[in-house]
Amino acid sequence: MSDETKREAWSRFRARLEAAGFRPSRRLGQNFLLDENMTRALVRDAGVAPGDFVLEVGPGLGFLTRPLLDAGARVLAVEIDGRLLEVLRGDLGDREGLSLLHVDALAGKHRLASEVSDALPREGAWHLVANLPYAISAPLVAVLAELQHPPASMSVLVQLEVAQRICARPGGPHWGPISARLQAGYGVELGRTVGPELFWPRPKVESAVAHLRRLAEPLSREELARLSSLCSVLFQRRRQALGRVLGEALGDREGARELLAELGIDPASRAETLDLGQLRALSGSTGWRDRQ
């Protein structure tokens, strides 16, 4: 398709949206990726294969949905905006393998909507591939990662800073609770960066893709819950000495110093310097388990 043909097609599409009274919502984080070459590249990078079950949250105008279907995926597209859902039904409703769900994907910051949960596979591999609304990107990825039957992979286009936090390494400025929680279950890789000029309307920030692949031996849900609670406590005061922060959390400063010494961790160090292995060891210790 030539650039001129693309512009004409987009002009007609936008006219339909305006006729329906649609304007992008900043509150809903509606920044639509329009570049066809980029959306197809994202599907290729995600490794989508024929027959794969793919969850797409925030399909918007369907520009990513189309190449997912073209790749042979079975797509569950979850859209909060009823106006966009009607446009999608009109354009893609007859495509085999597409299911549309009109609901907010999250029923709270830490809980998936029951309609979405009920529609996900109970066995077999499934995947998340989406251009996520900025406001829900980190909470949604975290919630999905902690499901009883989590996705085998997640490839998400998010704000660059969120992608950097997902893929961060210990000691860096982006290392924090979301980094540790996700990397306890997934191998992570920072993918393509996507400039604001490829979106409508243009966001004020850069975007990037984060790829997550399920580890062969992830933490159990119980272990992950302990790790998450530990990270929440430590990273709230990430620049304070671990001995002090942990001592106050356990109600026993001397006991905290002894625990850190047993694990070979300097009580004067800070949470942001701990790697995943140290965080796992600390969250799995008797001292922290007894606190739960």
Residue 30 pLDDT: 82
In this prediction, what percent of the chain has a pLDDT beyond 90?
Answer: 75
Whether residue 4 has pLDDT greater than 60: no
Mean pLDDT (the chain) is 92
Q: Helix crossing, 221-235 with 276-283: angle to 10°?
A: 110
Confidence bin at 91 (pLDDT 50/70/90)? confident
Task: Please report where in the chains the tokens 């987009």 appear, as a residue.
Answer: 10
Residue range(s) in the chain whose domain bears CATH number 1.10.8.100: 221-291
Confidence bin at 18 (pLDDT 50/70/90)? confident
SS3 category, 18: helix
Residue 8 pLDDT: 63
CB 272 within 8 A of CB 175: yes
- pLDDT tens-digit series, residues 149-196: 999 999 999 999 999 999 999 999 999 999 999 999 999 999 999 999
- pLDDT tens-digit series, residues 104-160: 999 988 899 999 999 999 999 999 999 999 889 999 999 999 999 999 999 999 999
CB 210 within 8 A of CB 156: yes
Residue 7 pLDDT: 64
Task: Please report where in the chains the tokens 């809980």 appear, as a residue.
Answer: 111
C-alpha to C-alpha distance for 40 and 165, rounded to whole angstroms: 25
Q: Which of 107, 53, 61, 108 lies closest to 84, judged by CA?
A: 61
- pLDDT tens-digit series, residues 47-56: 999 999 999 9
Residue range(s) in the chain whose domain bears CATH number 3.40.50.150: 3-214
Report domain 221-291's class.
mainly alpha
**3-214 to CATH, choices 3.40.50.261, 3.30.70.2200, 3.40.50.300, 3.40.50.150:** 3.40.50.150
Residues 6+ apart with CB under 8 A from 182: 141, 142, 145, 166, 188, 212
pTM above 0.85, yes or no: yes
